[in-house]
Amino acid sequence: MPTQLRIITANLCNENPGNKTTLIKKWIVVFSKLNVDILFLQEIAKYNIETLANELDMKIFNINQIEETSILINPDKLSIIDNNYVKLKTGRKPIYIGGIHLDDVPSLPHHMNNMTYKSYKTYSLSNSIDKMLSLCEKHRMPRVKEEFKKIKNIEKDRIIIAGDFNEPSHLDLDNNIKAPISIEFEKNGFVDTYRYMNKTIITNTDMDTNTNTNMIIDKSKIGYTWPAGQYYKGEPEQRIDFIYTKNLKIIKSILYDGGNDGTTNLKWLSDHKIVITDIVI
């Protein structure tokens, strides 16, 4: 009998000035409604993850204090094999689960929009796109390579890697802008679950000729995950939160920020929307 799993990646948002005890209760309400089975979290340092796990009846799979990330799993559906692998309660085949929160510097979308990104390090707007892409690789690729090394068989294993990548996908950018991290995942056979289920080519019907034509729409505006809610108004919209899978069947992938019918919820708890992907094993 196939088992459906719901995967969510969520940035809890250090910038939210609210009381963290109150905020964790609100996050519990959000996640309870969404029936999550594998929960990837970022920016957890100020939050009580044990309380979150207990209230959601989930088990902590791991906590990375340096990157401020954690992964929770639903123990009714999944059993822990070791520090990197789980399996279905009803099955034997392992599933690799890895959480990532990559460096926020440099910000490619800011540079493309001629905007200075303010963080622990600032790069000149006079840098070429090629230079910025090289810096993206320098800052982020080592961590991705480190994650891949933990996988026993990257070709055959069933794999889920998710989190805040702080870099847009090449699938959302012009063809000449080769964002290195998404290309690395694609090269290794991973599927960008949201983009896989939400294509960027739409069919436009010509009312005069009653014929259909494919129309490319602004890909950078489709599925952006940052900024969200009340945070960072006027900053470049970008899709930087991802759920990547390999050797798994994807049936659905959406974004969520508490709004209805795609509208923005200004009371949303984070500066990131969350990504939700459903798979069947």
Q: What is the pTM of this model?
A: 0.92
- What is the predicted pLDDT for the residue at 212? 44
In sequence order, which residues have a C-beta less than 8 Å from that of residue 49 and are 6 or more positions away? 41, 60, 63, 70, 72
Cα separation, 95 vs 280, whole angstroms: 13
Asked if omega into 142 is within 30° of 0 (cis), the reply is no
- What is the predicted pLDDT for the residue at 203? 41
Q: Are 69 and 100 in contact (CB under 8 A)?
A: yes
SS3 state at 236: coil
- What is the predicted pLDDT for the residue at 175? 73
Q: Are 224 and 237 in contact (CB under 8 A)?
A: yes
User: Domain 4-280, what architecture?
Assistant: 4-Layer Sandwich (3.60)
- What is the predicted pLDDT for the residue at 128? 96
Cα separation, 13 vs 143, whole angstroms: 21
Give per-residue pLDDT as tens, 81-133. Answer: 999 999 999 999 999 999 999 999 999 999 999 999 999 999 999 999 999 99
| C-alpha distances out from residue 269 to 98, 130, 250, Å | 24, 35, 27
Q: Are 119 and 104 in contact (CB under 8 A)?
A: yes
Cα separation, 225 vs 253, whole angstroms: 13
- What is the predicted pLDDT for the residue at 250? 98
Helix (H) and strand (E) counts for the chain? 6, 14
Low-confidence ranges of the chain (pLDDT < 50): 201-218, 220-221, 261
Token pair for 280 = 């069947």
Q: Are 10 and 274 in contact (CB under 8 A)?
A: yes
| Secondary structure percentages of the chain, helix, strand, coil, to 5 | 25, 30, 45
- What is the predicted pLDDT for the residue at 174? 81
Token pair for 56 = 């959601």
| Domain parsing of the chain, residue ranges | 4-280
Cα separation, 141 vs 184, whole angstroms: 8
Q: Which residues on neighbouring strands pair with residue 278, listed in sequence order? A: 6, 252
If you ran DSSP here, which 8-state letter would residue 138 be given?
H
